[in-house]
Every structure is written in C-alpha cells, then in structure tokens.
Amino acid sequence: MALAVAAIALLTISLGGIGENLVYYWGPTELQAAGDKAIGATIRLGGLVADASIRRGPGASGVEFDVGDRAGALTHVKCSGVPPQMFRERIGVVVEGTLTRAGHFEGHRLMVSHGNEYRAPSDGENAAIDELMRSVRDGDGRTGGPVASPAASPNPRPRP
C-alpha cells in the first residue's frame, strides 16, 4: 500500500508541472547558447560586473550593467529596484530574472558576491575609522553609496 501511495505521489509531482518551478543558474555563455529556450524562463545569471558598464537610473532605483564570464561573453542586464550597497564594477553578481525577446536580461533580484572573511586591524595598524565613516556617509565609489557633488559636500575630496 505504501509503495502505491509513493508511486502516485511521484507521478503527481512529475506530471504536475514541476518544470515550471525550476530556476536555472547560467553564466552569459550558457545563456547565449540556450537561444530561444532561455526567453521567458526564470534564470539566475551569474558572473562579474563588466568595467565601465554601470548606468544608474534616476533616483535610487534602477540600474543597467553588463555581466561577463571567463569565456568573455557579456549579457546586458536591466534591474529594477535598489542595488545592494556593495554593488560595483568587477564584483561577482547573481541576478534572478528572465531573458527578453529584445535580447537583454530583465533582473528582478540582484545579489552581490563578496568574501566573508573579516580581519581585525593589528595593534600597529591604524583602523582609520573616521575615513571609513566619511566614505560611507559621502560615498566615494567603493561603497556604492551616493557620490556627493563637491558643492554639496562639507569636506570635498579630489576625485581620482
């Protein structure tokens, strides 16, 4: 009896559209190789944010960028919502969304990949807490925060 119930449950799951709930994890090379099969499917696109590709939308939300992989393939991504604070060029990202017929990847969820190791400053090393807090408050490109204009910043710094 238990075997029959298990067989019926397995049959129900397999015929019940489990494939509709799958999320594929692909890089730009696999995404391009999939062609039309990738259009409309829920995909997690992984790779590195390409240099000089970030274009932020008006306000705090919306960002466009290119994701690249080791093979050199690039995929253009358009994301809605506010990007994570650590978002920047050359950081690893995973973007969940779908490939559109227009050829770009429409992202609904943007996650950044970062190291999880913390090393406390040694006794002889200056922690520079004031500089760290200033970079977070003013934004300097490293944190992904707003970049203050020199006129708006009480302590303008020269930009490299």
* CATH number assigned to the domain comprising residue 98: 2.40.50.140
Residue 44: inside a domain: yes
For residue 135, is it within any domain?
no
Q: What is the pLDDT of residues 40-79, one digit of tens each?
A: 999 999 999 999 999 998 888 899 999 999 999 999 999 9
Highest mean pLDDT among 4-8, 11-15, 77-81: 77-81
Question: pLDDT value at position 89?
Answer: 94
Strand pairing of 92-99 and 43-49? antiparallel
Amino acid identity at 19:
G
pTM: 0.63
Per the domain annotation, does 73 fall within a domain? yes
DSSP 78: E
Q: What is the pLDDT of residue 132?
A: 64
32 within some domain: yes
Overall number of domains in the chain: 1
Average pLDDT on 79-105 reads 93
- CA 136 from centre of chain: 20
**Tens of pLDDT, residues 118-132:** 777 666 666 566 666
- Residue numbers of the domain that contains 47: 20-113
Q: Which pair of tokens denotes residue 96?
A: 């969940």
Half-sphere exposure (Cβ direction) of 49: Cα atoms closer than 13 Å: 25
Is residue 154, in this structure, part of any structural domain at all?
no
